[in-house]
Amino acid sequence: MPPAERVAENLNRGLHALFAADPRVFLLGEDVLDPYGGAFKVTRGLSSRYPDRVITTPISEGAIVGAANGLALAGDRAIVEVMFGDFVTLAFDQIVNFAAKSVSMYGRRLPMHLLVRCPVGGNRGYGPTHSQSLQKHLVGVPDLALFEVSPFHDNVRLLERLLDRGEPCVLFEDKGLYAERMLTGGRVDELYRFDWLDAGETVARAYVDDPGAADWVIVAPGGMARRALAAARELLVELELSCQVIVPSQLYPFDPEPLLPAVAGAGRVCVVEEGVAGGTWGGEVAHRLYDRLWGRLRQPVLQVHSRDRVIPTAPHLEREVLVQTATIAHAIREAAGA
């Protein structure tokens, strides 16, 4: 049996499927043309097959998203590749004040088929301005939906769903995931299996044996999934603490409903993210879970973030700043009194 495709290959296949299915789909970004095919090769092959709909752009994220906004406003479907997610801040006005507002500010509901793809995350030695996870800065904007790639969620389906929403979406893609294999067949490895907490297969759950017997639930976005799973394995082997790992594909608006039975059953939950603390997605998740399960939680929701520091380039210093497997395991150990 051939190995599962890598996450970058799965994303690439999803983009090719969108272009093949709809002549209104356009892609804009820096260095997206072949033979380069994007900084992380996710757009490889698209410009050769669809030369009139793949547009390479100057280095101006505001202009790129602005042009994509115009396409979406005119009824086309626009995908933007921001080369490094750190620079989505340069398009903040176009995303927040134009794209998101355009859905509802013209007196009637106006579909905006716009997808902004943002490679994020560290642990690759790219330094302070190319390694951040800035998801929290876009949480809470009306009519703007946020998603994150994971090895559990098929990107062919995900990309189609996002571009069909009729409201602008931002898709965060942890750079460390691109070379990882997609997870299929309900198995993570010889120890962990996975299933779905919702009918639409948007919320993945990894567990050992009995999903109802977990001591802790770890909620993590896709980029943190492997580190969360590694921490869960460490806690199981060393302390016999059983942890479920829940990975939602949609970050905002966040629906806590699929998570409630699992979290209520364990009574202890840890939310992990690579960004720094303060006004975060993790804080939004904690708030929603507190609101629904206040009387059933055994202790406050544990939140794990990276240190409040500029991300160093040197790998050994970068690891000290960003959340690692050991960071998650240590936090749960402390909270469990172990």
The pLDDT mean for the chain works out to 96
Is 1's pLDDT higher than 70?
no
Give the pLDDT band of residue 107 (cuts 50, 70, 90): confident
Q: Above 70 in pLDDT, residue 141? A: yes
Distance CA 68, CA 79 (A): 7
Please state the rounded mean pLDDT for residues 50-60. 96
Q: Residue 33: pLDDT above 80?
A: yes
CA-closest candidate to residue 219, choices 193, 244, 191? 244
Is the distance from CB of 168 to CB of 112 less than 8 angstroms? yes
Stretch 292-296: mean pLDDT: 94
* Mean pLDDT, residues 209-221: 90
**Residue percentage of the chain with pLDDT more than 70:** 99
The pLDDT tens digits for 228-277 are 999 999 999 999 999 999 999 999 999 999 999 999 999 999 999 999 99
* % of residues, the chain, pLDDT over 90: 96
Residue 88: per-residue pLDDT: 97
Tokens of 47: 């410009």
Topology agreement, domain 7-177 and domain 193-336: yes
What pLDDT was estimated at residue 294? Answer: 92
pLDDT grade for 328, boundaries at 50, 70 and 90: very high
Taking the C-alpha atoms of residue 137 and residue 31, their distance in angstroms, rounded to an integer, is 26
State the CATH architecture for 193-336: 3-Layer(aba) Sandwich (3.40)
Active site includes 113?
A: no
Catalytic hit among 113, 130, 153, 305:
130
Q: Give the separation between CA 174 and CA 124, rounded to whole angstroms.
A: 11
Per-domain residue ranges of the chain: 7-177, 193-336
Could you read off the pLDDT of 168-199 as tens digits, one per residue?
999 999 999 999 999 999 999 999 999 999 99
Mean per-residue pLDDT for 130-140?
A: 97
pLDDT at 93 > cutoff 80: yes
Residue 64 has pLDDT above 70, yes or no: yes
pLDDT tens digits, 113-122? 999 999 999 9
List helix spans (H) across the chain. Answer: 7-21, 46-49, 61-73, 92, 100-102, 155-164, 225-239, 260-266, 281-293, 315-321, 325-336
* Residue-level pLDDT at 212: 79
Q: How confident is the model at residue 208 (pLDDT cuts 50, 70, 90)?
A: very high
* Topology (CATH level 3) of domain 7-177: Rossmann fold (3.40.50)
**pTM across the whole model:** 0.96
Report pLDDT for 136: 97
Tokens at residue 277, please? 């603390």
